Structure 1
Amino acid sequence: MAREYDTVLVRKGTYKEVNILIDKPLVLKGENYPVIDGELKGEIITITADNVTVDGLFIINVGTSYTVDYAAVRVIKSENFLIQNLVLEKLFFGIYLEKARNGRVYHNNIIGDAEEEYNSGNGIQLWYSNNIEIDQNIITHVRDGIYLEFSDDCTITNNRSSENLRYGLHFMFSNNDLYSHNTFEDNGAGVAVMFSKGIKMYENTFKNNWGAAAYGMLLKEINDSEIKGNTFQQNTVGINIEGSNRVTYSSNDFIGNGWAIKFRGACYTNNFKENNFLYNSFDLSYNSKLNDNKFEGNFWSSYTGYDLDKDGVGDIPYRPVKLFSYVVNRTPEAIILLRSLFVDIIDFSEKVSPVFTPDNLLDIRPRMKQIVHDRN
C-alpha cells in the first residue's frame, strides 16, 4: 500500500517473512528493533529501487544454499540507498550489494555462526558496486568480514572485523578504494588485497592474526598504493608481499610480530620510510639477491649502531635481513634455533660480509629513537 517516498514503520514484534521486495523509493524503519525471521527459507529483503533506506531491524535465519547466495539484505542495481542500524544473526550472507552505487552501509552489527568456509557467506559483500561507503559496522564469525570484487572508489572506515574464518577484509580486482581506522583482529588472516591498484590504507589496526598461513595483511599484485599510519601487532606475519610494486609504506608500527614484512618475490620500487620495527622475531624476510626497494629513516629496535654527531640518525647503515631468516625460509624447522648463540654468530658474519642477502638492502639513515606518529 505504500507510495513512493513513504515511510513504513515496523512496530516491535516478530514477523516471519521471506523474499520481501522493495521496488519503489521508501524508508523501511523499525521501532525498538522488530525481528524479521526468515525461518531459514531464503533471502529476506531485496531492494531493486533507488532511494531506499532500511533502518533499525533485527533480521535472523537467512536461508543457506550451495547454489544461491541468500542474504539478509540484497541491493541490486540501485543507488542512493542507506542500510543502517541493523542487527543480523543466523545468516548466510549479511548485506550483499550487486551492481549498486552511491550508497551507504552504516552502523550495522553482523554476527554469524560460520564454522566451515564452504557453507558460510560474507558479512558485507560488494560485487561490481562503486562509490559505496561502509562505516562503523561490527562484523564477526562469518567467512570474510567485508569482501569487494570489481568495486571501485569505495571507502571503508571505522569498522571492526574480528574472529572471521578467512579474512577480516578481502579485495579482488577493485581499484582506487580507501580503508582507514578499521580494526582487524583474531581472523584467519587480517586483510587480503589482491589484483588491485590505487588502494589507500590509513591508520588501521591488524592484531592477533595467528596461524600457519596467517598474516596481518597480504598484498598480491598490488600497484601504486599507499600504506600509512597502520599498526601491525602480534601477527604471524605483519605484511606478506608478492608481486607488488610502487607501494609507499610510511609511519607504520610493526610490533611483536613473527615476521614484520615477508617478501615473496617480484616486488620492485617500493619505499619504506619512518616506520617503527619493534621487537619482531624477524623484521624482514627477503628471498632474492636483487633489490631496488628503498628503506630510509626507519627505527629498528635491534639496531646496535652509534650516533657520534648526535643528529638522531645512526652513523652506520642497518641491514634488516638476517641470514637466519634466509635459512628459516628454506628450512622452517630451523626456527627452533632462534634464540641460540649459533644464530647470533651467523647473523653477525652475514652483516660483516653479505653473501646470501642483497648487499644494497639496507636502511642508510636508521633512526636512533622510536618515531612518534601523530595518529588522528
Structure 2
Amino acid sequence: MSNVKLSKIAFPNRNLGKRRAWILFPKFLFGKGFIGLATFFIIFTSYTFSKDIIVSPNTNISSIKQAIELSQNGDRIIIKKGYYKEHNIIIDKSIQLIGEDYPELDGEKIDDIIIIKSNNVYIKGIVVKNSGSSSMKDIAGVRFDNVKYCTIEDSRFYDNFFAVYLAGSSFCTVKYNIIKSNAQNETSSGNGIHLWKCENITIENNEISGHRDGIYFEFVTDSKIISNISRWNLRYGLHFMFSNGDTYEKNYFSNNGAGVAVMYTKDVSMIDNRFEDNWGPNAYGLLLKDISFSTIERNTFKKNTVGIYMEGGTSLNVNHNSFIENGWALKVLGDCTDDSIKYNNFIGNTFDVSTNSSISVNLFNGNYWDKYKGYDLNKDGIGDVSYRPVSMFSMIVEKTPETIFLLRSIIVDILDIAEKVAPVFIPETLVDNNPSIYEISNREQITNNPTGTASQQITGNK
C-alpha cells in the first residue's frame, strides 16, 4: 500500500504518546506484574507506531472516507492538494487530518461535510465548502458532536450553512480560520461558529463574515472568544445567550446588522473589544439584556446608532471605555440597577446618555464628557461642578422619535439651557459628581485597521 507510511506521529505534540507511556510504565510494571508489563507495551506501541496515510486524487487512496476506514487511533491522514467531492465524512477515531496546500472538500450542497465523533481529533489546513442547508436540521461544514479535546485550525470555510458547529462538546479549539458565506436572509442561513451546550471552548483569531450570526453561544460556560474579526453578518457579530462565566476580548465587530447581543447571562467579561459602524433602527454596538455581575472594560464604541443599550442590567462594571461619534453613547433603561459607569470617555456623540426613567440607581463617576462646560479651580483634573449627561431633548426623542429632525435647531439649545438652570424633567439622580476635565487614557488593544489582529495572524500562520 504505497500511500501508507509508518511514522512516530500520534498528536500535534509528537512526543506526547511516548511521554505518557513512560509515566505509566512503573505503575503497570510493578503494580500488576506481567499483566501490567503487557498493557504497557500495548499502550506504548499504539502511540509510537502510528502511521501516515496519504490521500491524493487518482491514487489507490483517493477519498478521505477511505483513508479514515484504513486508519487507527493516533494515525495522521495527509490530504494532498486537490478537489474532493465528499460529504458525511465521519471521524470516529482519534486521528489527525492535515491538508497540504489547502485541498478542497466540496459537499455539493448535500449534507454535513465532516462530523467529528471521537475525542482528540486534530484538523488543519483544509478548505470546506458548499455544505447542505435545511430548515429542519442544522447542517454544517464541520460538526463537533459530543467530543472533547478536538481542534480545527488554519482552515477556510466558504458558502456553508453553518460553518463550524459544536454541540455538547468541551475543551475544544477553533482558531486561525477564515469563514465566509453570502447569506441573503436570516431564515435561510446559519451561523459562522455555533456553540450549543458546550464548556471550556476557545474561539481565537478567526475571521467571520456573511453569515446570520458570526459567532453564536447558547448554554456555553467557561469559554473564551479572543482576537476574532466578525463583520458584515446579517444579524449579530456575536450572539450570546444563557452562557455564564465566559470571556470575550480583543475582538473586532463591525458592520453587522444588529451589532452584538449578550442576553440572559451572568459573570461575563467583555474587555478590549471594538464595536464599530453598526447602523440601523435596531442596531447597537452592544446590546445587554438581563445580564448581571459582568464587566465591560477598555472597549471602544465608535460610529454606532447606539454604543451600549442596557436593559435589565444589574451590578455591571462599565469602566474605562471610549464612546466616540455614536448616535447615542449609552441607553440605560429604568430597570437597570447598581451599575457602575466610571472613567469612560464620551466624545462626539449626538447624545451621551438616554433613559426612560426619572430615577437612576446607577453610579456615574469620573467620566470625561466633551460637552461638559464646568471649571476646575484647584487644578486637580476634576470638574468643580457636577455634570448631568441626560439632555431634555434626548428624553423628548426617546418618547417621540420623530422630533429628531429638530436636532440642530435653536429650540433644542433653549430647552437644554432651561433644563440645566432649573432641572424638572431630566433624572435628578443621574449625575456625574466628579467629571474628568481631561480625556482619560483607556488602553486599546486593537488598532483602527479594520483587518485587525485576526487577519494578520491568520495570514502569518499560512
TM over 0.5: yes
Structural RMSD (CA):
0.7
Match of 1:310 among 366, 369, 379: 379
2:354 pairs with 1:285: yes
Match of 2:141 among 50, 68, 72: 72
1:264 to partner: Cα distance? 2.9
2:228 pairs with 1:159: yes
CA distance, structure 1, for counterparts of residue 374 and residue 99 of structure 2 = 63
After superposing the two structures, state which structure 1 stretch, 201-210 or 337-346, moved more. 337-346
1:375 to partner: Cα distance? 3.3
Task: Name the counterpart of 2:130.
Answer: 61
2:158 pairs with 1:89: yes
- Indicate if the aligned counterparts of 1:107 and 1:137 stay in contact, CA closer than 8 A: yes
Q: How is 1:179-328 mapped onto 2 (pairs within 5 angstroms)?
A: 179-328=248-397
Task: Name the counterpart of 1:145.
Answer: 214
1:345 to partner: Cα distance? 1.0
Cα displacement string for residues 156-184 of structure 1 (whole angstroms, at most 9, x for unaligned residues): 00000000000000101000100000000
1:360 to partner: Cα distance? 1.4
Task: Name the counterpart of 2:47.
Answer: none
1:353 to partner: Cα distance? 1.9
2:91 pairs with 1:22: yes
- Indicate if the aligned counterparts of 1:194 and 1:221 stay in contact, CA closer than 8 A: yes
2:431 pairs with 1:362: yes
2:76 pairs with 1:7: yes
1:308 to partner: Cα distance? 0.9
CA distance, structure 2, for counterparts of residue 157 and residue 371 of structure 1 = 25
CA distance, structure 2, for counterparts of residue 41 and residue 49 of structure 1 = 23
2:170 pairs with 1:101: yes
Q: Letter of the aligned partner of 1:155 in structure 2?
A: K
Q: Letter of the aligned partner of 1:331 in structure 2?
A: T
CA distance, structure 2, for counterparts of residue 40 and residue 360 of structure 1 = 58
1:374 to partner: Cα distance? 2.8
Q: Letter of the aligned partner of 1:11 in structure 2?
A: K
1:65 to partner: Cα distance? 0.8
1:354 to partner: Cα distance? 1.8
What secondary structure is seen at the aligned counterpart in 2 of 1:115?
A: coil
- Indicate if the aligned counterparts of 1:274 and 1:297 stay in contact, CA closer than 8 A: yes
CA distance, structure 2, for counterparts of residue 145 and residue 188 of structure 1 = 11
CA distance, structure 2, for counterparts of residue 301 and residue 166 of structure 1 = 32
- Indicate if the aligned counterparts of 1:273 and 1:297 stay in contact, CA closer than 8 A: yes
Task: Name the counterpart of 1:330.
Answer: 399
CA distance, structure 1, for counterparts of residue 94 and residue 270 of structure 2 = 34
Structure (1 or 2) with the greater strand fraction: 1
1:217 to partner: Cα distance? 0.4
1:270 to partner: Cα distance? 0.3
Cα displacement string for residues 317-371 of structure 1 (whole angstroms, at most 9, x for unaligned residues): 0000000000001111110111111101111111222212211110000011111
Structure 1 unaligned spans of 5+ = none
What secondary structure is seen at the aligned counterpart in 2 of 1:28?
A: strand
Task: Name the counterpart of 1:375.
Answer: 444
Q: Percent same amino acid among aligned pairs?
A: 48
Cα displacement string for residues 18-69 of structure 1 (whole angstroms, at most 9, x for unaligned residues): 0000011010010000000000011000001000011111111110111111
- Deviation >6 Å, runs of 4+: none
- Indicate if the aligned counterparts of 2:193 and 2:214 stay in contact, CA closer than 8 A: yes
Q: Letter of the aligned partner of 2:257 in structure 1?
A: G
CA distance, structure 2, for counterparts of residue 79 and residue 371 of structure 1 = 44
CA distance, structure 2, for counterparts of residue 64 and residue 107 of structure 1 = 25
Q: Could you state the TM-score of these two structures normalised by the residue count of structure 2?
A: 0.81
- Indicate if the aligned counterparts of 1:286 and 1:357 stay in contact, CA closer than 8 A: no
Larger radius of gyration: 2
What secondary structure is seen at the aligned counterpart in 2 of 1:150?
A: strand
Q: How is 1:41-52 mapped onto 2 (pairs within 5 angstroms)?
A: 41-52=110-121
Q: Letter of the aligned partner of 1:347 in structure 2?
A: D
Aligned residues: 376
1:248 to partner: Cα distance? 0.4
What secondary structure is seen at the aligned counterpart in 1 of 2:393?
A: helix
